[in-house]
Amino acid sequence: MSDNGSETGAFLAGFIIGGLVGAAAALIMAPQSGEQTRAQIREKGIELRDRAEDLAEDTRKRAEEAALDARKRAEEIERRAKELYEEQRVKVTSAVEEGKKTALRKKDELFGGGKVEKAEPAA
């Protein structure tokens, strides 16, 4: 999730809660019977609970999407790292083999093909 998304979610949560607290305060201050006030507070409480549940569900879905996206990116990075490792392993192996061949050629040039003739024992 980006910082912008979490800021927006925090703003919306604060806005909803603030609105409901203001509505509850207005109901308490309004000139009506206690029974009517309690009924309105109960209704607003149910409305607040429903909104909070919706917000929690939306947040959960966003978190799951972010986790899935992060998992996919991690798998892609892992796959690419394995490819790079294999490419470099092949290059290093090839360079080592080429180095061995060059060393053998140089040895042959310096020592005459690497064959040592046996000296005949003196009689």
Look up tokens 């090839």; give the residue: 94
- What does the pLDDT look like over 23-52, one tens digit per residue? 777 767 767 677 887 888 888 889 888 988
Closest CA to 41 of 24, 17, 22: 24
Residues 6+ apart with CB under 8 A from 41: 24, 27, 28
Mean pLDDT of 17-24: 80
Query: What's the pLDDT at 123?
Result: 53
Which SS3 state, helix, strand or coil, does residue 112 take? Answer: coil
In the chain, what are the domain boundaries? 3-108
Q: Highest mean pLDDT: which of 19-28, 30-39, 81-90, 114-123?
A: 81-90
Which SS3 state, helix, strand or coil, does residue 117 take? Answer: coil
